Amino acid sequence: MTHAPILIIAIPLLVAFLTPLVGMASQKGRNVLVVVSLVFVAFLVFALAREVASNGIQVYTLGATSPDLSVPTGFMVPVRIILEVDGISVFFSIIWSIVSLAAAIYSISHIASETGQTRFFTLLLLMVTGGFGLMFTGDLFNLFVFLEIASISGAALIAYRTKFADTQEGGFKYIVVSAIASLMVLFAIGLLYSQYNSLNIAYLAQAIQYTTLDKIALALFLIAFTMKTGMVPLHLWFPDAYSVAPASITGMLVITSHACMYAAFRICFTLYGGVINAPVVGWILIIFGLLTMFVGVTMAVYQKDVMRFMSYHAISQLGYMWIGVGVGLAVLGNPGLIATYGRDAMSGGVFHILNHAMYKPLLFFTGGALFHYTGTRDLTQMGGLAHKMKWTTILYIIGTLSISGIPPLNGFSSKILIYESVYQFHPILTITGIIVSILTLASFTKAFHSAFMGAELPEYKGGKEVPRSMLIGMLILAAGIVFVTLFPSLVVDWAIHPAADSLIDQGAYINAIMGATP
Amino acid sequence: MMEHVPLDFPFIAAALLMGVSLYIIIFKKNLIKLIMGVAMLAAGVNLFLVALGYRAGGGAPIYTGVIKETMVMPVPQALTLTSIVINVAVLALMLTLVIRIYRHTGSLDSEKSRKLKG
Amino acid sequence: MTFLLESGYAFWNPLIWIIVFIVLAVIVYFFRRRGQKGYKKDTDQTRIFLCGEEVPEAGERHIRVGNIYWGFFETLKEYYEQILKPHTGIINDYILWFVAITAVSVIVLLAAGLG
Amino acid sequence: MLSKIVRTVANGFIPFIMIFGLYIIAHGHLTPGGGFQGGAVVVSGVVMLLVAFSSQELKKSIRERVLSIMESSGALIFIILAFIGIGTVFFYNLLVGTPIFGNVPAFGPNLGDIWTGGVIPLMNFAVGLKVIAGLSAVVLALALFSGGEEVEE
Amino acid sequence: MKRQVAGLILLLVLVAFLVLGMYLVHPFGYPDASEMDDYMIENSQEETGSNNVVAAVLFDYRGLDTLGEATILFTAVTGVLLLLRLSKRKENNS
């Protein structure tokens, strides 16, 4: 069990290296191998989550004589790569394991008519590896490497349907943006290394001085990661890349953007947590979050392409998370305010990440089902599809009610946390949030009417419901939505509050590695 | 540290290289030139990284044969090696996508390949 | 009580909502089955009636997405003209935005450090 | 397909390039270089062949399938070498002190013993195999595609 | 046009900050701190048995980075071969 962190990273990698060899032998065996390995990884993730919940932060030192020997004996500085898993990492990895499993199952029949399926699944597993490594590593340069793995595999998968021109364009935009953001992150890592001669996050958090170079590095980290996340002035690549990818990959890309959000949290709260000028950075995040919510939803109402429309909604939902966590960051230096509403705001933001990671991939999958049925993403050519796609319609309704915060579904339970806690920080945030929620419901109603309602169109009479594996992939996420809907306080107590506390409590993260040294 | 300022030349060169490459990426509409800009940006970052580890009068950190007394720091060299290979991979994928775009649209102008907008 | 969510200042319980929805559904069903039962399928009783005009085809009957919320976009025309301006799908502009926001945030952070 | 002189010179040079690349791979733990660099050198020889002879000529002798099998096996060897240390810790250098590459040099400058480094030389070989196969596959695929053909899946 | 000028100005501002930062970095050739690297130079021979400290760093101290690096190369090769594949399946093997 002590090897769980590295096994979760290494097993998808091993299976990804095996997949081309197995795929030459048989296609079905390859699919079985991929799904079974992802199920096994999901079990490992849940076991690791229980371990973290009971025994606190897990540290794994690679290549040392013992996994918990983070600092060499008789030495003050960690020299090896260290994986450090705390509440927020485990929270994100649970989301990532569930969504990647659903996406893999969904892909099997979603790409059944295409060529190059073996390489598709290889890249999907590599993307899973990159996400897990991004969430578990405690080393800055290693974080950059895994970020690149996720970006490159994501770009290749976005451009998977090579016979359309727009897919190539979307993949090119994605990889250019990712490459430049990653290079800026690498430059900032070099700035930190030049001063403190270390790459370990815990050691840097202990030694950091917040000099001018650290401020430049913080700006580069923050803007690069928020661009990868899709924050509004930098969101322009986001719909281009997400709307053209295969639907299963779009569902996974949502979680990779959440993983970049995790990296931004890690930088702000853990690396710079002790010295950061919290109100300024918190207000930067809050203002960007307001812009993100409003511009995203207004652009979404305008869209006519179903996947672009959902991508803009993904952008606008990110705003809730930035606002919740930004309020928590803005009051970070003030324990009284943290206890009053900061912790609730951060819990709301983190809880909204969980809910968004459940219903947004579900909605993308239903959009992919529409594409699978009609062969187009254009809403103006759709209509009356509810006559033939009953399951897809039901799942779309579940996702719609959940994303627009209709009680009793889970979207509401996180939004109420955000509203009530953020209102005490500044009322305008809550008001904007409610307006955005209303516009979200309106735009999804519009899409629902134009795609599913109405008389059955003659050109779509012949088709039938999407294949079973796509339905299974969607039902996994719908089951997650129902679970979070029914047991909100269970989820909040066991997953959300530990995650938020591990963000607030910087000392624990440092002591887990530097504990032996004064 | 004024007496050391002239010695800072590699860092300044890295910063200027990054600036020039950012200018290319922003203002050149040709996709191949854009890829060249990304490669130059990577070169600037790599130059900065590898210049960090230099010690005055240091030799390569290898114990085979005759060596100097002072060795340069090994970690920045390892990081630079890794990032060079990563950038090779990124450039290969970018060029592939550009070839595909050229097959589809018949042009390398970034203003012509804007089917996705709004 | 695992159903109860304490949000710090209020609580809410999905069970209450579910029960309310079930009750509403029962009431709706009650009213619905008090309606006419004499209709026969596939006769003129169930066909669409437009004052004697002939009913258009399914394709024309369906309101397409372009025609929904027309007034909304008409009211916010200026806003949409402004907001669509940055969305030129040119990759160079994306990087331009990135560089601009980075420069601004560097200035903000350094200025905050001074003050 | 270039002129006869170029092809003859390429034929003459290719063994030296290959041997130099393999030398760099094999001595990665003693001298500057390693798997990536040596693999790049070997692939430069492949690129020279590609320039001298046409890509169709090369396609007859090098098959995509073989290249991807080589690459996967190289990556698998690498990660398995990392896995064998998992009795202690992942990436633990298990072979130090064993007969295979297990000698430990005394501290300070020495002439270099090929049997040192533990798993490092083996990892260098794995990475070299992988880089040779992968980069030649990329170069060949790009050349063939710009020549008008497409790669089989 | 106005957008281009504003972008150019902001780019110059960013480059100016970068050059300023470069002056604040430690003078070239005289690093501020080097505990980690000194530890590696001292102990790489007895811990990994490798004369080449850079190789020791690549494959032992920071092995996961090199594994990720090889993975990235694998990813790029797979992606290139995926994107250059036949876009439609041939009849004989379908």
pLDDT in tens, A357-413: 999 999 999 999 999 999 888 888 888 888 888 999 999 999 999 999 887 888 888
Is C103's CB within 8 Å of E11's CB? yes
Is B96's CB within 8 Å of D142's CB? yes
Query: Which two tokens mark A165?
Result: 């021109």
Q: Which DSSP helix (H) or strand (E) runs through C11?
A: strand C11-12
Q: Which residue has the tokens 């996961």?
A: E64
> What residues of chain A lie within 8 A of the CB of B89, using their CB?
148, 152
> What residues of chain A lie within 8 A of the CB of E71, using their CB?
13, 16, 126, 129, 149
> Which residues are paired to C53 by β-bridges?
C50
For D96-103, which contacts have Cβ atoms below 8 Å and span 24 or more sequence positions? D96/E47, D96/E48, D96/E49, D101/E49, D102/E49, D103/E49
Q: What single letter denotes the amino acid at residue D135? A: L
- Given CB atoms, is B104 within the 8 Å cutoff of chain A? yes
> Out of C2, C63, C69, whose CB is closest to A301?
C69
By the 8 A CB rule, do D71 and D141 touch? Answer: no
Is D138's CB within 8 Å of B92's CB? yes
Average pLDDT over residues A289-300: 93
- Given CB atoms, is E75 within the 8 Å cutoff of chain D? no
Is B76's CB within 8 Å of A240's CB? no
Q: What is the DSSP letter of D109?
A: -
- Given CB atoms, is B100 within the 8 Å cutoff of chain A? yes
Question: pLDDT tens track of chain D, all 153 residues?
Answer: 678 898 899 989 999 999 999 999 999 888 888 889 999 999 999 999 888 888 888 888 888 888 889 999 999 999 999 888 888 888 888 888 788 888 888 888 888 788 888 889 999 999 999 999 999 999 998 888 887 766 665
> Out of E6, E11, E17, whose CB is closest to C106?
E17
Query: Which two tokens mark D7?
Result: 């092809």
> What residues of chain A lie within 8 A of the CB of B18, using their CB?
187
> Out of B66, B95, B96, whose CB is closest to D109?
B66
**pTM of the predicted protein model:** 0.94
pLDDT of residue A167: 93
What are A242-262's pLDDT values in tens digits? Answer: 999 999 999 999 999 999 999
> What residues of chain C lie within 8 A of the CB of A223, using their CB?
98, 101-102, 105
Q: Which chain C residue shows the shortest CA-CA distance from B27?
A: C92
What are B28-78's pLDDT values in tens digits? Answer: 999 999 999 999 999 999 999 999 988 888 888 888 877 777 889 999 999
pLDDT of residue C34: 85
Q: Which residue has the tokens 């106005």?
A: E2
Predicted confidence (pLDDT) at residue A152 exceeds the cutoff of 90: yes
Question: DSSP of chain B, one letter per residue?
Answer: -GGGGGGGHHHHHHHHHHHHHHHHHHH--BHHHHHHHHHHHHHHHHHHHHHHT--TT-B-SB-BSS--SSB--HHHHHHHHHHHHHHHHHHHHHHHHHHHHHHHHS--BTTT---S--
pLDDT of residue E90: 53
Q: What single letter denotes the amino acid at residue A225? A: F
> Out of B75, B89, B94, whose CB is closest to A172?
B94
pLDDT of residue A233: 86
Q: What distance in Å separates residue D58's CA from the closest CA in chain A?
A: 23
Q: How many CA atoms lie within 13 A of A423 on its CB side?
A: 11
Predicted confidence (pLDDT) at residue A433 exceeds the cutoff of 90: yes
Query: Which positions 26-85 of B are in contact with E (Cβ < 8 Å)?
Result: 26-27, 51-57, 60-64, 71, 73-75, 77-79, 81-82, 85
Q: What single letter denotes the amino acid at residue A335? A: P
Question: DSSP of A82-147, one letter per residue?
Answer: EEEE-HHHHHHHHHHHHHHHHHHHHHHHHTTTSS-HHHHHHHHHHHHHHHHHHHHB-BHHHHHHHH
> What residues of chain B lie within 8 A of the CB of D145, using their CB?
99
> What residues of chain D lie within 8 A of the CB of B102, using their CB?
none
Q: What is the DSSP letter of A492?
A: I
By the 8 A CB rule, do B40 and C113 touch? Answer: no
- Given CB atoms, is A112 within the 8 Å cutoff of chain B? no
> Which residues are paired to D110 by β-bridges?
B64
Query: Which two tokens mark E82?
Result: 């995926």
d(C-alpha A177, C-alpha A170), whole Å: 11
Q: What distance in Å separates residue A104's CA from the closest CA in chain E?
A: 18
pLDDT of residue C14: 81
pLDDT of residue D153: 56
Average pLDDT over residues A93-100: 95
> Out of A64, A115, A118, whose CB is closest to D89?
A64
Q: What distance in Å separates residue A8's CA from the closest CA in chain B?
A: 23
pLDDT of residue E28: 86
> Out of C12, C18, C87, whose CB is closest to A236?
C87
pLDDT of residue E87: 62
For chain A, what percent of residues have pLDDT higher than 90?
Answer: 71
**Range A414-453 burial, b when 16+ CB lie within 10 A, else e:** bbbbbbbbbbbbbeebbebbeebbebbebbbebbebbbbb
Q: Which of A351, A325, A350 is nearest to A338 (CA)?
A: A325
> Out of C93, C103, C110, whose CB is closest to E10?
C103
Phi, psi of A85 (to 5 degrees): -115, 115
Query: Which positions 6-65 of D are in contact with B (Cβ < 8 Å)?
Result: 30-32, 36
- Given CB atoms, is E28 within the 8 Å cutoff of chain B? yes
> What residues of chain D lie within 8 A of the CB of A64, using their CB?
89, 92
Q: Which of B50, E44, A7 is nearest to D120 (CA)?
A: E44
> What residues of chain B lie within 8 A of the CB of A171, using their CB?
97
- Given CB atoms, is D151 within the 8 Å cutoff of chain B? no
pLDDT of residue B2: 46
> Out of A215, A234, A442, whose CB is closest to C101?
A234
> Which residues are paired to C50 by β-bridges?
C53
Q: What distance in Å separates residue D106's CA from the closest CA in chain E?
A: 7
Query: Which two tokens mark A233?
Result: 């002035």
Comparing C16 with C26, which gets the higher pLDDT?
C26
pLDDT less than 70: residues of chain E: 87-94
Query: Which two tokens mark A89?
Result: 């990492």
Is A67's CB within 8 Å of D89's CB? yes
Orientation angle between helical segments A140-158 and A247-265, nearest 10 degrees: 160
> Out of C93, C99, C110, whose CB is closest to E10?
C99
Is B81's CB within 8 Å of D105's CB? no
Q: What distance in Å separates residue E29's CA from the closest CA in chain C?
A: 27
Q: A202-206, A295-299, B4-8: which range is least confident on average?
A: B4-8
Give residue A516's pLDDT band: very low, low, confident or very high (50, 70, 90): low
> Out of A145, A152, A240, whose CB is closest to B82?
A145
Predicted confidence (pLDDT) at residue A517 exceeds the cutoff of 60: no
The ipTM value here is 0.93
> What residues of chain E lie within 8 A of the CB of D25, using their CB?
none
d(C-alpha A316, C-alpha A65), whole Å: 47
Query: Any contact of C with D, at least 3 CB pairs below 8 A?
Result: no
Interface size, chain A vs chain C, as Cβ–Cβ contacts under 8 Å: 155
Query: Which positions 47-106 of B are in contact with C (Cβ < 8 Å)?
Result: none
Predicted confidence (pLDDT) at residue C58 exceeds the cutoff of 90: no
> Out of E63, E73, E85, whose CB is closest to D134?
E73
pLDDT of residue D134: 93
Query: Which two tokens mark C73?
Result: 């976009």
- Given CB atoms, is A249 within the 8 Å cutoff of chain B? no
Q: What angle do CA E2, A230, A314 make, to 5 degrees?
A: 125
Q: Which chain E residue shows the shortest CA-CA distance from C103?
A: E14
Give me chain A's average pLDDT, please: 91
Q: Which chains touch D (3 or more CB pairs under 8 A)?
A: A, B, E
> What residues of chain E lie within 8 A of the CB of A513, using their CB?
none
d(C-alpha C53, C-alpha A148), whole Å: 63
Question: DSSP of A2-53, one letter per residue?
Answer: TTHHHHHHHHHHHHHHHHHHHHHH-HHHHHHHHHHHHHHHHHHHHHHHHHHH
> Out of B15, B74, B85, whose CB is closest to E37?
B74
Average pLDDT over residues A34-55: 94
pLDDT of residue A388: 87
Q: What distance in Å separates residue E94's CA from the closest CA in chain B?
A: 24
Query: Which positions 45-74 of A are in contact with E (Cβ < 8 Å)?
Result: 62-63, 72
pLDDT of residue B1: 44
pLDDT of residue E89: 57
Sign of the C-alpha dihedral computed for residues B29, B32, B33 and B38 taken in this order:
positive
Q: Which chain B residue shows the shortest CA-CA distance from C94?
A: B26
In terms of C-beta density within 10 A (0-12 exposed, 13-18 middle, 19 or more buried), how is residue D64 classed?
middle
- Given CB atoms, is D99 within the 8 Å cutoff of chain E? no
Give residue B6's pLDDT band: very low, low, confident or very high (50, 70, 90): low
